[in-house]
Amino acid sequence: MLDWMVANVVPIVFYTAAVLVVAGAAGVIWFRNPVHAALSLLATFLAVAGLFVLQHAEFIAAVQIVVYAGGVMVLFLFVMMLVNVRTLPREYQYVRSLLPVAVVTGGFLAAVVAAGLFARARLGAAETTALTAVEGELLGNTEAVGWVLYRDFLLPFEVVSLVLLVAMLGAIVMGRRDRREEDAGEEVRA
């Protein structure tokens, strides 16, 4: 039994991570408590990062953890705490009327995935050395991405970082201004 597990460790880890991804995604939909849904989404992000590691995409797995599991989840939780979801009025759920559209879209996506798997089986495995080589020199996946990003695309990378910084500062200023207006309104009423 142990020899079988050692020989098949990659498929075992893959199917375990795949089940965690599907279960986490279902939990995001089924949980009524928004914090539980956010934690389920976090489990989905981490399981997807595990799938990236299995595909030797370590850089994408690290970005998945840092950006999505770290930044996006913190943002979701801050918004949930700031909005106070429990005090929001109940809204009519229109999901049932979209069920036929969801079934057709799901069938279409299943057909696209099946066609992709069929094409891959017919064409064979893809060549992956282009993902790890820079100017003919074989580097690691993360090194190759970093080399191209900081050498060839340094200016666009810095411009995007400045745009994100301005957006973050604008959100802070707008949030503080609204908070000051609320505080001033409460003082006038008192």
- What does the pLDDT look like over 55-104, one tens digit per residue? 888 888 988 998 888 888 888 877 777 776 666 566 666 666 777 888 89
Run of H or E residues at 91: none
Say what the pLDDT of residue 22 is: 95
Q: At CA 116, angle to CA 114 and CA 117, rounded to 5? A: 65
Say what the pLDDT of residue 89 is: 63
- Rounded to whole angstroms, the Cα distance separating 116 from 130 reads 21
Say what the pLDDT of residue 98 is: 75
Q: What is the 3-state secondary structure (H, E, C) of 20-80?
A: HHHHHHHHHHHCCCHHHHHHHHHHHHHHHHHHHHHCCCHHHHHHHHHHHHHHHHHHHHHHH
Greater pLDDT, 149 or 129: 149
Q: What token pair was written down for 156?
A: 């666009």
Q: Which residue has the tokens 């301005």?
A: 166
What CATH topology corresponds to 1-88?
Answer: Four Helix Bundle (Hemerythrin (Met), subunit A) (1.20.120)
Compute the mean pLDDT over every residue in the chain, rounded to the nearest whole number: 80
Say what the pLDDT of residue 120 is: 73
pTM of the prediction?
A: 0.59
Q: Would the pLDDT of 114 be above 70? A: yes
* CA-derived radius of gyration, the chain: 23
Say what the pLDDT of residue 45 is: 93
Three-state secondary-structure class, residue 134: strand
